[in-house]
Amino acid sequence: MNFYGALTIKQKQVVWAWTFLAVPAIFYCLIRFYPTFNAIALSFQEWNLLGARTWTGIDNYTKLFADPVFWKVFKNTFIYLLLGTPISLLISFVIAYNLDKVRFMHGTIRALYFLPFMTSTVAMAWLWRWFYQPVPIGLFNNALATIGIPQFEFLNSTTWALPSILAPAVWAGLGFQIIIFMAGLRAIPQTYYEAARIDGVGSWTTLWRITLPLLKPTIVFLVVLSSIGFLRIFDQVFNMTSNNPGGPLNSTKPLVLMIYETAFSSFDMGYAAAQTVVLFTVLLIVSLTQLYIMRDK
Amino acid sequence: MTSWKKKLLGLTTGAVVAMSSGASLAVEIEYWQYIFDARIQAMDILIEKFEAANPDITVKQTTFPYADYRTKVAAAIPAGEGPDVVQLFYGWLNDYVDAELITPLPTDMFPPEQIEAEYFPMVQAMKRDGQYMALPTAVRSLALFYNKRLFAEAGIEAPPATLDELIETAKKLTKKDGSGNLTQVGITTGMNAQDHHWFREVLVRQFGGAPYDASNAKVTYADAGGAAALKWYTDLQTVHEVTSFGFMDEPQAAFKAGRAGMHIDGSFRIGALDSTRGLEWGVAELPAGPDGMKSNYSSYWVNALTSKATGEKAEAAKKFIAFITTDEAMQIWLDTVGELPAKPSAGLTDENKMNPVFGPFINGLGYAKTTVFANESGQRQVLMDATQRIFLEGQSPEDAIAAAAAEEQKILDEYYN
């Protein structure tokens, strides 16, 4: 008390500032940094969740890079990213751009697009899983069968399983992207468009020269967010292929599902941690690269 | 205070004192198992009976979600909390013993010779260094479920007794639509369900192979026997066209919906099928192999003494394990859960053997084998991949079985070295 009493008002303010700041800081350290560093340490250990952890050096990493499944999964993860991000951004921009001009039932249409985003991914994944089933229960294949077209192996194909899973994932994310795009479009001052109209510029040029450049911050935000989303894809794959986790011959398995299986069905926690560290590194590199490329010059 | 109030107060005080002194004498032990209604119910009945016979011991049952097994049990025991007796899947036992979470059952109360004489032979997988680590109350085996209505419709009188008959029967039960798509399968298939057990311990043996060597650390099915078994199994789809992998998403769903004539599954499916309205089903023993050989796969859950239990509690826990492995307890478990008794003396009673539902399962126990898994889901995946390579990539059964054996050997090597 004496010590505190001897402080000046300025010093007391500092003490109080740090006292309040300490709460979120400690909380953040405990729930963010401690587990993160623990996971990094675990990636150099062997642990089956039951016994003691033992140090194994870089064994987990050498095993990982020699594992053909890992490379298959790594490739899948990037296919999800490289197909998912551009397709979803293109579709959502086209919808947002046109929806922005629609006055008729604007709110209702926007709500309809946003609806899938609010739906639980698990429920949605199971619904699509049912759509994709072969005859006699699958919706798509039953429709094909009634018009006499042979059924299509959606999920039970090494070629088509991944796109089949990606489709609902893209669809579910559209609502969010459309809303963000529309907010971005609304933020562009009308004066630019008025000036363009006075100068007699066509709508195509307006789009390329005014709308898109001014939407850049929005696009950067959505690219980063959707990339991270597709790199971490899990729920859709897990729920649509739970009979054969990761699809036929690992054709749909993303990295996160491999991590989950290694950790919670093989109980090889160290190996799973090593995969997590790799995923973290990839996410970091991809995000930083995107921010660098799309920064304001 | 009126006199009756005083009396009441005196009585209450007396009762409280008596109850608290009684509690301090009693030992309380904890029993842990995962949440599964019928099992919890059966255990409640057993605890009640045990407490009636041992008034100085109380047993507290704690249940938790299946997914929390490793995290909860493994965290609680070293902290001196959690179960004194825990229920574990037989395949996990080695991991728990290595982590020193489980104490072996003392040989004076649980003599190995007696266990070997009394229990079905597959329980011997629970023996390590001359001691039993844990004992089951109930065991499960496989059998062939068949849809009586579809059988009658196709004019089939009896379920198939051999693998050849199975193909013929399945052909009669299969239906296709105009485009050639299957709308009803003769038999369900899917390595993701129970078929990987049927393949490993039954088909491979019936075609002259053996899944593993005596140490269980070496895969031995990559030979003519294994290839023939895989060919027979995948021919059901590719040659005979009586089934389709992934038909109606899950084998048991197809059978439940009445869209499958036959379905191989475990005794634990009985409850779910019983409550399916409009389904008339029967059970038969698994079909015998080409030379008449019969085999089956059995799995079970065991009761183990944890390293948390010491002193009085350990004594009480041992008594409790002894009680829940009596013939009486096993019959209660069969009646409540539908899982089969682990001892022939309790299981092979005339009444049980003649039971149209339990009978085929119990008869199967006599010749059942148990796989010692290192990583069950990983080992299952290997066989799933083998069938997928045949279906989707046109690989030959010989190559597919060789690739599967190599992959599975890698899993075993990693576990045992």
**Spans of all domains in chain B:** 27-140+299-362, 142-297+370-416
pLDDT in tens, B43-67: 999 999 999 999 999 999 999 998 8
Q: What is the mean pLDDT of residues A253-265?
A: 93
A114 with A200: CB under 8 angstroms? no
Q: Look at residue B215 in the predicted model and tell me its pLDDT.
A: 87
B403 touches chain A (CB under 8 A): no
> Across residues B172-195, what is the average pLDDT?
92
Residue B91: what pLDDT? Answer: 86
Confidence grade of residue A149 (pLDDT, cut at 50, 70, 90):
confident
User: Which of B89, B388, B415 to substitute to test the interface with A, most A CBs within 10 Å?
Assistant: B388
pLDDT digits (tens, 9 = 90+) for B295-344: 999 999 999 999 999 899 999 999 999 999 999 999 999 988 888 999 99
pLDDT confidence tier of residue B16, bands split at 50, 70 and 90: very low
pLDDT at B2 over 80: no
Minimal CA separation from A179 to chain B, in Å? 36
- ipTM for the complex? 0.86
Q: Do domains B27-140+299-362 and B142-297+370-416 have the same CATH topology?
A: yes
At B10, the pLDDT band (50, 70, 90 cuts) reads low
Instruction: Classify B106 as helix, strand or coil.
Output: coil
User: Who among B246, B250, B393 is closest to A134 (CB)?
Assistant: B246
Please determine, for residue B253, whether its predicted confidence score (pLDDT) is greater than 90. yes
- B70·A49 Cβ contact <8 A: yes
Instruction: Determine the pLDDT at residue B8.
Output: 53
The structure tokens listed for B267 are 């005794």
Contact A113, A93 (CB under 8 A): no
Q: What angle do CA A156, A157, A159 make, to 5 degrees?
A: 150
| A142 interfaces chain B, CB cutoff of 8 Å | no
How far apart CA A113 and CA A171 sit, in angstroms, is 9
Cα B63 to Cα B32, B37, B39, B93, B322, distances in angstroms:
6, 10, 10, 19, 21
Distance of alpha carbon B122 from the chain centroid: 12
- B229: distance to nearest CA of chain A, Å? 21
Kindly state whether B182 is in contact with chain A, defined as any CB-CB distance less than 8 angstroms.
yes
Long-range CB pairs of A97-102, under 8 A, 24+ apart, other chains included: A97/A181, A97/A185, A97/A207, A97/A211, A99/A178, A99/A182, A100/A182, A100/A185, A100/A186
Q: Inspect the interface and report whether the beta carbons of B249 and A49 lie closer than 8 Å.
A: no
A-B C-beta contacts closer than 8 Å: 87
Which of B182, B249, B377 minimises the CB distance to A243? B249
What is residue B287's predicted lDDT score, i.e. its pLDDT? 97
Q: What is the CATH number of domain B142-297+370-416?
A: 3.40.190.10
Whether the per-residue pLDDT at A113 is higher than 70: the answer is yes
Q: Is A18 on the interface with B (CB under 8 A)?
A: no
Q: For residue A266, report the phi and psi dihedrals to the nearest 5 degrees.
A: -95, -10
Identify each DSSP E strand in B25-170 by its residue range.
27-34, 57-64, 85-89, 102-103, 127-128, 131-132, 134-147
Measured between alpha carbons, how far apart are the two ends of chain B, in Å? 78
**Omega before A136 within 30 of 0, i.e. cis:** yes
Q: B24 pLDDT exceeds 50? A: no
Contact by Cβ (8 Å): B34, B63: yes
The residue among B327 and B15 whose pLDDT is bigger is B327
Q: Where are the beta strands (DSSP E) in B74-119?
A: 85-89, 102-103
A89, with CB counted inside 10 A (0-12, 13-18, 19+), is: buried
Chain B closest-CA separation from residue A142 CA (Å):
10
Secondary structure (3-state) at B77: coil
Helix (H) or strand (E) holding B5, with range, is helix B3-25
Matching residue, tokens 């045949």: B390
pLDDT averaged over every residue in chain B? 90
Using CA atoms of A253, A254, A259, A261 in order, give the dihedral in degrees to the nearest 10: -20
Q: Which of B74, B192, B389 is opposite residue A243, by nearest beta carbon?
A: B192
Interface test with B, best of A139, A243, A268 (most B CBs within 10 A): A243
Measured distance CA(A38)–CA(A31) in Å, rounded? 11
Q: What residue has token string 């944890």?
A: B306
Helices (H) and strands (E) in chain A, counts: 16, 2
Amino acid sitting at position B74: A
For domain B27-140+299-362, say whether CATH 2.40.50.140 is its number. Answer: no
**Cβ contacts (< 8 Å) between A50 and chain B: which residues?**
70, 74, 95-96, 98-99, 101
